[in-house]
Structure 1
Amino acid sequence: MKKNRLLKVKKIVVMLLLIVLAVVLALLAKYRMYQKKLQEKAETMNRLATETIVTVADDTEEKETAKYDFEKLRETNKDIYAWITIPDTMVDYPVLQSETDNKYLDTNIDGSQGYPGCIYSNKCNSKKFDDYITVLYGHNMKSGEMFGSLHQFGEEEFFDDFDTYSIETESARYIYSVYAVVNYNDSLITAKYGVKTREGRDAFIQSLEACRGNSSTHFHDEVNFKDDDKVLVLSVCISGQKDRRLLVVSKLEEIIEF
């Protein structure tokens, strides 16, 4: 009798272990499929960059020329209007804007749903980067893709050594210097501050002061904003801090027209 009871218990334990094993294997398979899809999306982005780079026949020309073929880019997705490249990071992506705000938070460049999404701005911002505040959003991917590698700016040495980065549109290249990297709250900057006004820009810059001393926060205090200086904000989530955002705040230094 006792042996039978023990045998039944063993059978139940074995069954439970088999069920747990099956669940674990199913979850692993699902995770691998998820990672495969992410890799496919990343490869799509990389291929897009390679296929749309413009070949310049005469590189002795004094006039700057566009690096990307935006007509070809728009064949992939009509909402592409710019390309952002940040040296020494993984940020080298098209920038999109839709009539539906936050569409590309969970929509990929091919229109499929889910991660990694795209780098995007909302329709309150001009596509000419001529607002006093422009905000670009991207996911904090663990792989470092999208805006995940912006967290490198939180390292003081990287921040101090960094020079400039660029955004290109069909008609111009915009050169930015980094003013600050800030552990900020999750408020909607474009709604809280007037992106079209100098007063809105100044109020936003002033709001950053309250963040001094926060983790991953650094400033280049020699950078000043005055007159019609424009600000670009790159916004990404912070792991484990759902109500915080890491902002890379930059100043537009130069516009090179094509």
Structure 2
Amino acid sequence: MADNVEQTETPQEQKQSSRNLTPLFEANGDCIGWICIPNTAVNYPVMFTPEEPQKYLRKNFEGEYSVSGIPFLDGASTPECDNLIVYGHNMKNGTMFSDVTQYRDKAYWEEHPYIEFETAGGLRIYQVFAVVCLKKTDEWYGFSCFESKEQYQKAISEIKDRSLYDTGIEPQFKEQLITLSTCFGDSKDSRMVVIGVEQIR
């Protein structure tokens, strides 16, 4: 599945992608794109099934049972919405979104500041600006689309205040966000989210 997909080298500077996603789209129409945090284990297809949002929670790309599942886009999101919410499991073997939890260390953020998300529309690059521990019922998960500039700014201000550390990055209205969410800690309700703002379109 991933044999013909390669990582880009310099996400902060490079807009061109060497990935060929067409075979993935042809193999499974539920595949919407590819998520990658360069130089980490996060390097996977992303699925999107709005009528059955958690279809790939315990299924692999081929639709077979898999305890690790495969990353998927929130059912309320679309590729063009204000906040792309992507879920992935925190696996003990280090796969899927396990590396997302490493962002609790600011040094890790400094070494891995960018998230790549590629769809049929092209490659988008996001800079991580907030790392937050929250509950799965947190209101942040309701922000796929913002109703106004005021709501956007308020949500950004509040989530930055809750971040584990200050990145110094200030998203501006209309700049698309991406949220990577994974389980974290001992509670079944606890999540860690890493949130990025689009840098290049």
The TM-score, its normalising length taken from structure 2, stands at 0.84
- Show the counterpart of 2:165: 218
Is the 2:115–2:127 contact (alpha carbons within 8 Å) kept by the matching residues of 1?
yes
Equivalent residues of 1:101, 1:123 under 8 A apart? yes
Unaligned runs of 5+ in 2: 7-13
1:94 and 2:45 matched: yes
Task: Give the drift of 1:71.
Answer: 2.6
Cα distance in 1 for residues equivalent to 2:141 and 2:185 = 24
Counterpart of 1:84 in structure 2 is 35
* Alignment pair present for 1:145 and 2:92: no
Matches of 2:144 and 2:72 in 1, distance apart? Answer: 19
Q: 1:102: how far off?
A: 1.4
Structure 1 pair 135–191 and aligned structure 2 pair: CA distance change class (3 A): closer
Match of 1:183 in 2: 133
Give the superposition deviation at 1:115. Answer: 1.2
Aligned residues of 1:166 and 1:173 also touching (Cα < 8 A)? yes
Q: Which residue of 2 aligns with 1:49?
A: 2
Q: Is the 8 A contact 1:182 1:246 kept in 2?
A: yes
Q: 2:64 aligns with which of 102, 106, 112?
A: 112
Question: Which residue does the alignment assign to 2:9?
Answer: none
**Distance across 2 between alignment mates of 1:113 and 1:88:** 28
**Equivalent residue, structure 2, for 1:201:** 152
- Higher relative contact order (Cα pairs below 8 Å, separated by 6+ residues): 2
The 3 A distance-change label for structure 1 pair 239 and 227 is: closer
Once the two structures are superposed, residues 206-238 of structure 1 have per-residue CA deviations (whole angstroms, 9 ceiling, x without a partner) of: 3325635xxxx2231x21122311111100001
**Larger-Rg structure:** 1
- 2:115 maps to what in 1? 165
Aligned 8 A contact 2:16 2:123 in 1? no
The count of aligned residue pairs is 193
Q: Counterparts of 2:141 and 2:116 in 1: how far apart (Å)?
A: 25
Query: Which of 110, 117, 121 is the equivalent residue of 2:73?
Result: 121
**1:108 Cα deviation (Å)?**
1.5
| Structure 2 Cα separation of the partners of residues 64 and 195 of structure 1 | 25
The gaps in structure 1 that reach 5 residues or longer are 1-47, 54-62
Higher helix share: 1
**How much does 1:69 deviate?**
2.6
Q: Helix, strand or coil: the match of 1:208?
A: helix
Distance 1:224 1:190, change over 3 A: closer
Distance in 2, matches of 1:110 and 1:234, equals 22
- How many angstroms apart in 1 are the aligned matches of 2:4 and 2:169? 37
Aligned to 1:136: 86
8 A Cα contact 1:180 1:249, kept in partner = yes
Q: What is the percentage of aligned positions where both structures have the same residue?
A: 25
Query: Is the counterpart of residue 239 in structure 1 residue 185 in structure 2?
Result: yes
Deviation at 1:154, TM superposition (A): 1.0
- Choose the corresponding residue for 1:70, options 18, 21, 24: 21
Superposed CA RMSD in Å reads 2.4
For 1:191 and 1:157, how far apart are their aligned partners in 2?
Answer: 26
CA 1:88/1:241 → structure 2, altered by over 3 Å: closer, same or farther? farther
